[in-house]
Amino acid sequence: MTPPPDAGAERVFEINGVSLGLPEGLANASIIDKLADGSYEADEARAVDRCVRPGLRVLELGAGLGYVGTLAALKSEPENILSVEANPELLPVIRANHARNGVEEVSLMHGAVVGHAEEGATARFHIAGGFTGSRLGARGGRQVEVPLIGFHELIRAQRPHVVLMDVEGAEAGYFDRAWKCPLRFCVMEIHPKQYDAAVIKKIVDRMSAMDMTYDPVTSRGKILGFRKVWSEGV
């Protein structure tokens, strides 16, 4: 069982003008190397640069260290950003990094986002070593109980123009019906090891039904981006 990180010591990294504090023991060597060379969440950062503009509301699912949410807040306004993170150990790190970069007004919500959740529902959440790869449904390792958040209720409340998600396979449950929001861009990391091609087709078909099309600028590898198809004259 991996012990929780030591909150008493941290390293600080600078990426794209964002300062990120990392508590000792929280991340594995691979993440630390990417933080050091500036490649940490590079595709997600590129997506923020492409998609986020002043005044746009952003929903971020899977906040990590708070890097992408900070970038989005600096491009729009902090009060327009809602970040959701399931791993409770990351919450104080995210808040500290938001404050470190002057975007403490970003809304941060704790919970695992699923397609549908009853009020007060919880589930066991697996915390992976190095924090990336933590997810619902995995067996073994360190497990914590986390609140469940219904995706469509979250969409209706935030009404985002931009949705950014990295939720380790949970995205498969978000595409059962149309999203009630003024969506312009959606960028997600897909997880084909956790579901088959039929689920990816369902994601693409749902996006198409919502007048969203493949965005080659934000897509790369497992990062799949979509943008709104605007009607003529809009």
What are 21-74's pLDDT values in tens digits? Answer: 999 999 999 999 999 999 999 999 999 999 999 999 999 999 999 999 999 999
Residue 90 included in any domain: yes
27 inside domain = no
**CB-based contact 117:150 (threshold 8 Å):** yes
Is it the case that residue 137 has pLDDT exceeding 90?
Answer: no
Backbone angles phi, psi at 193, to 5 degrees: -75, -15
Q: Which residues constitute the domain of residue 88?
A: 41-228
Q: Is residue 6 part of a domain?
A: no
pTM for the model stands at 0.93
The residue to which tokens 């509301």 are assigned = 57
CATH of the domain at 91: 3.40.50.150
Would you place residue 91 in the very low, low, confident or very high pLDDT band (cuts 50, 70, 90)? Answer: very high
Let me know if residue 57 belongs to a domain. yes
Write down the pLDDT at residue 141.
77
Q: Is the pLDDT of residue 174 over 90?
A: yes
Phi, psi of 100 (to 5 degrees): -60, -30
Which pLDDT does position 154 carry in this prediction?
A: 97
pLDDT of residue 232: 53
45 contacts: CB under 8 Å, gap ≥ 6: 15, 16, 67, 68, 71
d(C-alpha 231, C-alpha 158), whole Å: 24
In this predicted model, which residue has the larger pLDDT, 141 or 12?
Answer: 12
Residue 3 domain flag: no
Number of compact structural domains in the chain: 1
pLDDT digits (tens, 9 = 90+) for 4-33: 455 568 999 999 999 999 999 999 999 999
Average pLDDT across the chain, whole number:
93
Looking at the domain assignment, is residue 17 inside a domain?
no
153 inside domain: yes
Residue 126 contacts residue 138 (beta carbons within 8 Å): yes
